[in-house]
């Protein structure tokens, strides 16, 4: 059985739902008070991808370091894919994704110099206070070189597994 080890980064502004996303995906739970333990670098999830392939995902959440908009190279080192997340109730959090993506393009390169695949996730689409339309997300995603984008709700468990599956598919094509 072949096993792929994939380091995946989860970035975005504070409060958009990154820790909740990782917790939901890895532990299958959502709770408002959840915060990743300080000092923990990454969470692991193993996927049985096919009869012959297993995928071990290392999910690196920046865990409260969003104020350092430019992350250290150690964090980026060896990453093969990235989730860039914003909150549909905050247009500022979508605009920040441009800087996150630029930082990734500069520092998280594949051995051949290409940028790593990044998926843009629009979280909290369960909320009625939504201010960012699907059309503007689509335009933003295309203009900034994301492989694709998806609307998710970590709270309602909508598209969480699907988004990760989509990103892994993209990484395995490399």
What is the contact surface with ligand GDP in residues (CB under 6 A)? 14-20, 32, 123-124, 126-127, 153-155
Q: Which is nearer to ligand GDP, 122 or 168 (CB)?
A: 122
CB of residue 73 vs ligand GDP: minimum separation in angstroms?
22
Quickly list DSSP for 4-20: EEEEEEEEESTTSSHHH
Residues in Cβ contact with 62 at an 8 Å cutoff, skipping those fewer than 6 apart: 9, 10, 11, 18, 71, 75
Alpha-carbon gap, residue 69 to 163, rounded angstroms = 24
Answer yes or no: are the C-beta atoms of 124 and 87 closer than 8 Å.
yes
CB of residue 17 vs ligand GDP: minimum separation in angstroms?
3
Q: Which is nearer to ligand GDP, 96 or 153 (CB)?
A: 153
Q: Where are the alpha helices (DSSP H) in the chain?
A: 18-27, 73-76, 91-107, 134-143, 160-172
CB of residue 6 vs ligand GDP: minimum separation in angstroms?
21
Q: Which is nearer to ligand GDP, 154 or 171 (CB)?
A: 154
CB of residue 131 vs ligand GDP: minimum separation in angstroms?
14
Q: Which is nearer to ligand GDP, 55 or 120 (CB)?
A: 120
């Amino acid at each position: 059985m072949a096993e792929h080890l994939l380091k995946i980064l989860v970035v975005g502004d504070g409060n958009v739902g990154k820790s909740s996303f990782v917790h939901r995906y890895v532990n299958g739970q959502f709770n408002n008070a959840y915060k990743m333990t300080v000092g923990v670098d990454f969470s692991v999830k193993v996927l049985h991808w096919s009869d012959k392939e297993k995928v071990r995902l290392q999910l690196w959440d920046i865990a409260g370091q969003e104020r350092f908009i430019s992350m250290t190279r150690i964090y980026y080192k060896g990453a093969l894919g990235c989730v860039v997340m914003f909150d549909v109730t905050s247009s500022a959090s979508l605009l920040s994704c441009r800087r996150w993506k630029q930082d990734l393009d500069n520092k998280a390169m594949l051995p051949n110099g290409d940028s790593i695949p990044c998926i843009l996730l629009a979280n909290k689409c369960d909320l009625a206070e939504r201010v960012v339309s699907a059309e503007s997300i689509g335009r933003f995603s295309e203009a900034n070189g994301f492989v694709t984008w998806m609307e998710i709700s970590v709270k309602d468990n909508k598209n969480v597994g699907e988004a990760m599956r989509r990103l892994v598919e993209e990484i395995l094509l490399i």
